[in-house]
Structure 1
């Protein structure tokens, strides 16, 4: 019995000492706060919060999409859209952006050819034997003056911004170079275009070089020709002049 009292007398203080050390260590680690606080974030709470945030963003997205649809769809009068579209189509034709078909005239210009003996006329200079920019412009201007509805040169539509330029014995048109023969196709009143070509001073002068130095010139009347549309131009410095539909 005395031995049992001795064991409790030493065991109880040892247990208390260990418990005190454990409490002291816990206090040091937690910094004086509770280790398992009731407000500590949990994984399930984070997931729930993320889902709620996603729901709010989805609702906001749907609201903005509906507002955009109202401004660009439902709030626009169908008649206004139709009018703008028709106006755009009319301007595309006038600006040469749309392909066209109809009766027309095809004029072909080409450099002088050597004779049967492989020679050029002895009194000709190199400039007398090639088609120049002024010759091409003379044909184009005569056709426009005669009321041509559409003109194509080589494989490109001639529009207000087109400017054929001579580069040596080739022609530069909208950034592309071409060698003769130069084929000019025009849709319009054929007799009027032929009369304008016959009366144009520079075309008359060119025809004299045709006879003297062997330059090439032909006119071909066709009942149906097709001209391509010009690609939509990218004007870097253009600014709107007024509202659509003016």
Structure 2
């Protein structure tokens, strides 16, 4: 016999009446999310990249990079040798060769010594009346004119005071003193150059700014002298070498 229902119980709700609306709601949310992701377009298009294609593309790129690595390793081995000690020794030898060209080594030989100094007071302790303070001191342009004239004459090495002049050296006047590589000097200023002394003297005699300085020597008592010597010594550059640009200087030999 069918079980009797209690008088207070009503009809039981059907599972389908509750489940169907929930399923429809979830389907609507899914469709809405799909539309938002695809932006109205087709998701599974025929031209969309497949995972297998992406993997193959990355594998090809890895292969290309491996080949480039092997090529560079072969180049390094052929240039410096397969032995680390041989490569280091070759680079040190080449560095020593370039160091001489860069002015890092001390040298000596026949040359010329030029000296510039400020004007001195006369026997009465006075300077010329029409002289201004700037007329009585050695300026940066005077020293630079001497250096340029010596380089033009083919000087092999030049030293200012006790420092080697290289491509990056920049003498500067600070008041009545000279600043070079962070060190200050007072007059007299001595320029030592190795090379053909006759050619250097001729270059100094023809340089317009040096000629002007010699006129001030006569007019206001500035100091200037040139001495030819059979052997002078020029120190090697000891300051930091800051490289701003570089180019190959030739292959390294073993």
TM-score range, shorter chain: 0.5 to 0.7
Q: Are residue 98 (structure 1) and residue 105 (structure 2) matched? A: yes
Listed as ranges, the matches of 1:193-212 within 5 Å are: 193-212=200-219
Distance (Å, rounded) in 2 between the aligned partners of 1:205 and 1:157: 26
Q: TM-score, normalised by structure 2?
A: 0.63
RMSD across aligned C-alpha pairs, in angstroms?
2.4
Aligned to 2:135: 128
Structure 1 pair 129/201, CA: closer, same or farther in 2 (3 Å)?
same
Query: How much does 1:88 deviate?
Result: 1.6
Q: CA deviation at 1:81?
A: 5.1
Partner of 1:217: helix, strand, or coil? Answer: strand
Give the 3-state SS of the residue equivalent to 2:116 in structure 1: strand
Contact 1:129 1:213 in 2 (8 A): yes
* Alignment-derived partner of residue 148 in structure 1: 155
Cα shift readout 1:191-244 (whole Å, capped 9, x = no counterpart): 010000000000000000000000000001110110110015242x64665598
The count of aligned residue pairs is: 174
> How far does the alpha carbon of each residue in 1:72-129 deviate from its partner, in whole angstroms, 9 at most, with x for none?
9982474x55543332222111110000000010000000000001000011110000
Query: Distance between the aligned counterparts of 1:173 and 1:146, measured in 2?
Result: 23
* Equivalent residue number for residue 83 of structure 2: 75
Secondary structure, aligned partner of 1:225: strand
Change (3 A) 1:149 1:75: same
The answer to whether the 8 A contact 1:108-1:218 is kept is yes
Q: 1:140 and 1:75, CA in 2 relative to 1: closer, same or farther beyond 3 A?
A: same
Deviation per CA, 1:42-61, whole angstroms, max 9, x where unpaired?
xxxxxxxxxxxxxxxxxxxx
Task: Work out whether 1:176 is the aligned partner of 2:183.
Answer: yes
SS in 2 for 1:159: coil
CA contact (8 A) 1:97 1:232 kept: no
Q: Distance in 2 between matches of 1:234 and 1:144?
A: 21
- TM-score with structure 1 length normalisation? 0.65
* Structure 2 residues without counterparts, runs of 5 or longer: 1-76
Distance 1:224 1:118 in 2: 38
* Equivalent residue number for residue 251 of structure 2: 245
Pick from 144, 167, 170 the counterpart of residue 163 of structure 1: 170
For structure 1, which runs of at least 5 residues remain unmatched after alignment? 1-70
